[in-house]
Amino acid sequence: MDKLIIEGGHALKGEVCISGAKNSAVAILPAAILAGETCTIKNLPNIKDVANIVDILVQLGAQVKREGHDKLVINSNNINTYKVDFELSKKLRASYYFIGALLGRFKKAEVPFPGGCDIGVRPIDQHIKGFEALGAKITIEHGIIRAEADELVGASIFLDVVSVGATINIMLAACMAKGTTTIENAAKEPYIVDTANFLNALGANIKGAGTDEIKIKGVERLGGCEHAIIPDQMEAGTYMIAAAASKGDVLIKNIIPTHLDSISAKMKEMGIDIIENGDSLRVVANSRPKAVNIKTMPYPGFPTDLQQPMSVLLSVADGTAIINESIYDGRFKHVDELKKMGAKINVEGRIAVIEGVPKLLGAPVCATDLRAGAAMVVAGLSAEGETIISNLSHIERGYEKLEEKLMGLGAKIKRISEED
């Protein structure tokens, strides 16, 4: 089992280039099952979640060819099963997209329950409600979700909760359904727009992605296309927070700054300089940040996926901050780890009260989930002394070349294997 060792207290300085978005990639790759011709997908992040999705595509019989480090060419014509392997499915959250994609293509899907970060209850009732509205019969047996339909017919679906996964999954199933599907109270995250753009490039007719009402007119057949994944909002946000926590000066390149507006706004409120310029953004932090309150919200609100890294910056801020985690009921598992480094945080349900301390002190800590891992890295970079982070597999699901990128910014970070 590898560990990361960080010698903290070195300001990050320089430039970092952001990779393609995990949450777009893991939706668009399964969506390629609906394509009647070859798809070329570019700007894919080289992360475990993408590798896991590719393993499922291959298990189903798709031809997947890698070209260069960030490009895959996929042909789904030879897919010969609608059943996803149990072990592969539970390796990540996004395996749920195979339900929508296989149902859309074969009118049948068998997908074991997905895995993903353990951050509270994560039901998929809204996905199921959407598939049923389109005419599918859903049964759950022995941990496997079975979806089956004689035909899929467009329907009007009002989501009870704003769900990224349900919005995309219904889009996938509805693309080739008969008639028009309307998703109301749809999620608006950039991944939804990216996935809709990909499907439209294949020949789908989706309008309104990025708003809370999406209309999908079913088409007979989808073709192929070339598509580049958008930059990763969460990776970019993590580097913004890391730059500030280390009192650094970092130019974050290859981003869409509007996707980061809620983070930039909060960081400006904290007294950190954020300078946008085209597709890059510079973060300059010289002094201790001011404490601010945060409530996580669906896009364009402050993203839950950056709540954990942000809690590190608030741990060393001047004053007391309140975090209201409105999306998940268990996304504070990292707090016990941060306390080992001297953070003063009280958690009561979905609320964390953080009393800022002047500095954190390095300690052995564990990455309990993906963004908890990112939070530990940010904490290690800002802390005095050495931080040793274990349980790295979560971090590998979502961050491409983490050590390499941080070392490029002057961080003292290295990976060791247990036997080293």
Ligand X SMILES: C=C(OP(=O)(O)O)C(=O)O
| Residues flagged as binding site for phosphoenolpyruvate | 22-23
- Which amino acid type is present at position 293? N
Residues 301-320 binding ligand X (CB under 6 A) are: 305
DSSP secondary structure letters along 368-401: -SHHHHHHHHHHHHHSBSEEEEE-THHHHTT-TT
* Contacts of 230 by beta carbon, 8 Å cutoff, 6+ apart: 20, 21, 24, 43, 190, 191, 193, 194, 256, 259
Identify the residue among 116, 190, 231, 289 touching ligand X (CB under 6 A). 116
Binding positions for UDP-N-acetyl-alpha-D-glucosamine: 93, 122-126, 305, 327
Does 117 participate in catalysis according to the annotation?
yes
Site string for ligand UD1, 163-192 (x = CB under 6 A): xxxx--------------------x-----
Stretch that binds ligand UD1, among 117-125, 257-265, 313-321, 383-391 (CB under 6 A): 117-125
Catalytic residue among 17, 39, 117, 225: 117
Contacts to ligand X from residues 88-107, by CB under 6 A? 92-94
123 binds, among ligand X, ligand UD1, none (CB under 5 to 8 A by kind): ligand UD1
Look at residue 370 and give the partner it binds from ligand X, ligand UD1, none, a contact being a CB closer than 5 to 8 Å depending on partner kind.
ligand X
Among 304, 311, 315, 368, binds ligand UD1 (CB under 6 A): 304
- Residue 65's φ and ψ, nearest 5 degrees, are -120, 130
Least spacing, CB of residue 38 vs ligand UD1, in Å: 25
Contact (CB, 8 A) for 157 and 185: no
Kindly state whether residue 93 participates in binding ligand UD1, applying the rule CB under 6 A: yes
User: Which residue's Cβ has the minimum distance to ligand X?
Assistant: 116
Which tokens go with 278? Answer: 């085209």
* 127 part of the interface to ligand UD1, by CB under 6 A: yes
The correct pick among 371, 380, 392, 411 for binding ligand X (CB under 6 A) is: 371
- Structure tokens given for 164: 């990224």
Q: Which of 43, 126, 238, 387 binds ligand UD1 (CB under 6 A)?
A: 126
> Which range, of 10-18, 148-156, 159-167, 283-291, touches ligand UD1 by CB under 6 A?
159-167
Contact between residue 149 and residue 135 where contact means Cβ atoms under 8 Å apart: yes
Looking at residues 397 to 416 of the shown chain, list those that interact with ligand X (rule: CB under 6 A). Answer: 398
Residues contacting 362, CB < 8 A, separation 6+: 6, 7, 8, 341, 380, 383, 384, 385, 386, 387, 388
Residue 306, Cα to own-chain centre: how many angstroms? 10
- Give the DSSP per-residue string, 163-185: -HHHHHHHHHHHTTSBSEEEEES
For ligand X (CB under 6 A), the number of binding residues is 10
Helix axes 125-133, 164-174, angle to 10 degrees: 20
SS3 at position 38: coil
Cβ atoms within 10 Å of 55's Cβ, excluding its own: 15
Find the binder of ligand UD1 among 61, 65, 67, 123 (CB under 6 A).
123
What is the nearest approach in angstroms of ligand X to the Cβ of residue 372? 9
Whole-angstrom distance, CA of residue 46 vs CA of residue 260: 22
**Least spacing, CB of residue 26 vs ligand UD1, in Å:** 5
Q: Residues near 142 by Cβ (< 8 Å), separated by ≥ 6?
A: none
Among 370, 372, 375, 395, binds ligand X (CB under 6 A): 370
Instruction: Report which of 17, 46, 24 is spatially closest to residue 239, judged by C-alpha positions.
Output: 17
Q: Are strands 63-67 and 39-42 parallel, antiparallel or unpaired?
A: unpaired
Choose among ligand X, ligand UD1, none what residue 398 binds, the Cβ cut-off being 5 to 8 Å by kind: ligand X
Window 130-169: residues binding ligand X (CB under 6 A): none
What span, in angstroms and rounded, lies between the C-alpha atoms of 266 and 264?
A: 6
- The nearer residue to ligand X, 215 or 371, going by C-beta atoms, is 371
The rounded distance, in Å, linking the Cα atoms of 3 and 301 is: 33
* Partner whose binding site includes residue 121, from ligand UD1, ligand X, none (CB under 5 to 8 Å by kind): ligand UD1
* Number of residues near ligand UD1 (by CB under 6 A): 21
Q: Does residue number 117 form part of the binding site for ligand X (CB under 6 A)?
A: yes
Which chain residues interact with ligand UD1 by CB under 6 A? 23, 26, 93-94, 121-127, 161, 163-166, 187, 304-305, 327-328
- Catalytic site positions: 117
Which chain residues interact with ligand X by CB under 6 A? 92-94, 116-117, 119, 305, 370-371, 398
